[in-house]
Amino acid sequence: MSQQIDFRVDPSSYRHWRVEHDGPVATLSMDVDEKGGLFDGYELKLNSYDLGVDIELSDIVQRMRFEHPEVKVVVMLSGKDNVFCAGANIRMLGGAAHSHKVNFCKFTNETRNTFEAAEEDSGQLYMAAVKGACAGGGYELALACNYIMLTDDSTSAVGLPEVPLLAVLPGTGGLTRITDKRKVRRDLADIFCSMEEGVKGQRAKDWRLVDEVVPNSAFDETVQQRAREFAERAKKFTIDTGITLGPLERTVTETKVSWSTIDITIERPARKAVFTLKGPDEQPPATMEAFQAQGDQAYLLRLCRDFDDAILHMRLNEMDIGLWIIRTEGDPELFAAHEALLTAHRDHWLANEVTQYWKRTLKRLDVTSRSLAAFVEHGSCFTGVLAEILFAVDRSYMMDGEFEDDDRPLATVQLSEANFGPYPMGNGLTRLQTRFLGDPEMVEHAQACIGKPLDAAAADKLGLVTMILDDIDWEDEVRIFAEERASFSPDAMTGLEANLRFAGPETMETRIFGRLSAWQNWIFNRPNAVGSNGALQRYGTGVRGEFDLERV
């Protein structure tokens, strides 16, 4: 097997970030180890980052939610002099395969979205304290914060110089955030994104690029003062103790990857992987206090952590596996009981965090560039949040009636309150609302069936599955589907699936993953950027890129 990218990190292994906690305020210092690149061939100078730096940041943001719920404000700053962050490492981008560049951008977008939503979801506000150069992906780190402070001196500036310097776009949502989130005027944004040197001081505030500009002599003091003010005004309840997220146990072989709650079987000749998510094997805790006492071994949290890691592992390490088939096994009623505990205590901080984590993980599945299918087989437990997978995938197939020599309980689908609000897609709608955009009354029909085990005929009538198949047709139909999918162009499939998954309103999030990612994907293939004489390859040589001047 080729080198594996591992998303499992913990504070003892961090090389690029330092975290300090002081009651309701945490300080997150970016101090990138130049020699700590994920691959050979480049140095991470000027606080530039690669995927390894962002994997650590993602872990920090996650632990801030679960291990430090007492934190109400996170101050993001640089641990180096004269530079906040120079953005994604150019040498890394220049030497990386196209697929790695695109997956890198997708993961960094997901990480930015996670801490951007932390105030609304978890009561944790992120603020950026910018000293020194803050360019490209560095400014995009700041843009995803809820509040940006900039020191007023001769060297500190914010900028998105990708177009003039590299012939690419700000790949972590920069264009979308300056227009949709910060509401920068279009003509000023055009100037800003055409400047190599960025914008400083009061002009940055006047253009809405930052929220506050502070004299250098008073900057550090004012940052701390502002953090305390935000913490005092926070609506979040004071929570004394979180839970520890221990290491994930995972085994990897050539044909199988396993976690405590998930097995993945890889069929390389068919270019497909079969995910099996396992239901619980014991009753849920009686109270949320008992649930919290289980820590990271509480079933619904453990399953979510495993599923999140499974998605990331397969995305980055198995790029030739184009079809993911997701199945479940277990007792639907037992799974429903575990979920009911969280639903009944949705105001408990940990119940909320587990719910929000499932929301983020399902969104990660939504934007994964793989063909996705679900098989609702006998003995499955597509219940509640697991039923959301049926509405996230491109197609779903359900067993209908008894199958010869199969004594498992007949296949059912069971809806819960979880399918009608807690887990919206990036478009702001639930997956059922998105599914039935043209027939909104179907959502009401489905909601009337909460808690009922729905057999194949009932699930089909409600439009919850794509196709129901009996014992005679099952094997042939699912085989033909898998073979057909493997025969199509992966590029065409990626474009088709991404377009069909997000019906309905466009939001900042759908624009970031759809419009921006599609353009960046295309630009990363163009010789103006990545050709031997392109801007990305010539960066740092003193010679500007040579461009094909045809507008297409």
Tell me: do 116 and 260 sit in the same domain.
no
Average pLDDT of the chain to the nearest whole number: 96
Does the residue 523 lie in any domain? no
Percent of the chain whose pLDDT exceeds 70: 100
Q: In terms of DSSP H, where are the helices of 8-97?
A: 51-66, 90-95
Asked if pLDDT for residue 1 goes beyond 60, the answer is no
pLDDT in tens, 125-152: 999 999 999 999 999 999 999 999 999 9
Tell me: do 301 and 377 sit in the same domain.
yes
Asked if pLDDT for residue 214 goes beyond 70, the answer is yes
Backbone angles phi, psi at 417, to 5 degrees: -60, -25
Does the residue 507 lie in any domain? no
Tell me: do 392 and 479 sit in the same domain.
yes
Domain that holds residue 313: 251-496
Tell me: do 151 and 273 sit in the same domain.
no
Read off the CATH number of the domain in which 99 is found: 3.90.226.10
The residue from 496, 519, 545 where one domain ends is: 496
Tell me: do 169 and 209 sit in the same domain.
yes
Does the residue 2 lie in any domain? no
- Burial category of 378 from C-beta neighbours within 10 Å (exposed 0-12, middle 13-18, buried 19 and up): middle
Does the residue 365 lie in any domain? yes
The whole-number average pLDDT for the span 505-530 is: 88
Provide the token pair at 272. Answer: 């497909």
Does the residue 239 lie in any domain? no
2 band by pLDDT with thresholds 50, 70 and 90: low
Tell me: do 291 and 171 sit in the same domain.
no
Tell me: do 115 and 16 sit in the same domain.
yes
Does the residue 92 lie in any domain? yes
- Tell me the CA distances in angstroms from 377 to 259, 351, 390, 409, one per residue in order: 21, 29, 12, 9
In this structure, are residues 364 and 357 in contact, taking their beta carbons and an 8 Å threshold?
no
Q: State the total domains in the chain.
A: 2
pLDDT at 236: 84
Backbone angles phi, psi at 188, to 5 degrees: -70, -40
Q: Which residues contact 169 (CB under 8 A, 6 or more apart)?
A: 162, 163, 175, 516, 519, 520, 523
Tell me: do 280 and 221 sit in the same domain.
no
Tell me: do 78 and 19 sit in the same domain.
yes
Distance separating alpha carbons of residues 68 and 161, to the nearest angstrom: 36
Does the residue 59 lie in any domain? yes
Q: Which residues contact 170 (CB under 8 A, 6 or more apart)?
A: 136, 137, 139, 140, 160, 162, 193
Does the residue 534 lie in any domain? no
